[in-house]
Amino acid sequence: MIFIAPDEKIIRIVRKHWFILLVETVAYHIFFFIPFAIYFGVLSGSIPEQYIASILALTSPSFLIFLASVWTLVIWMKLSAIWADYYLDTWIITDRRIVDIEQFGFFKRSVSSFRMERIQDVSIDVHGLIPTLLNFGDIHVQTAGEAREFVMKGIGAPSEIKNLIREQSDMHVSTNL
């Protein structure tokens, strides 16, 4: 559970770019639609009748429907798990700190936070054609003390996030002086 103080203001909740989610799920989307593609292939006559007759000689249409429903259900659950992983993997930027939450599957979760005044350097890394065109990349935040670097990969609008963190950090430092 993330505890936000009553007077602490959440500025922004940052997640990875949608393209990252798309890349992770594209294979499962294709797998999900395979039974439907076969069904429409049978209807349209694209699949040779010999194969259809061979399979129906072994089993019944009910069994094929059963297999297709099990297949799509398992893939649907996997897609939901990927989405939950994507959704729970986030940075919460408040007016006092940044909370870095990394979700690894369902049962591994890492939460760390660092205060704005500890931020020393913020840098971004946009690498490649697609990240440049779709405006996403990695953001690195270097903090003081343990010389620790926090990295969030594949976030959308990294320049905007970098400016936001820098503004909040500057504001926090100037009000504390």
Partner 1 sequence: MQPTEIEGVRDFFGPYEDLFFSLFQKELPFLIWIAIAFVLFIFALYTIVLAYHLFRYGIGAHIYLPTFLAYLAISFVLISIMLGSAVFLL
Residue in 22, 34, 37, 84 binding partner 1, rule: CB under 8 A: 84
Site for partner 1 in 60-79 (CB under 8 A): 60, 62-63, 65-66, 69-70, 72-74, 76-77
CA-only gyration radius of the chain, Å: 24
Mark 116-155 with x for binding to partner 1 (rule: CB under 8 A) and - for no binding. Answer: ----------------------------------------
Q: How far is the CB of 163 from partner 1 (least distance, A)?
A: 22
Tell me: does residue 36 bind partner 1 (CB under 8 A): no
Element (H, E) at 97: strand 97-104
- Name the site residues for partner 1 (rule: CB under 8 A): 1-2, 13, 50-51, 53-55, 57-60, 62-63, 65-66, 69-70, 72-74, 76-77, 80-81, 83-84, 87-88, 90, 92, 101, 106-107, 109
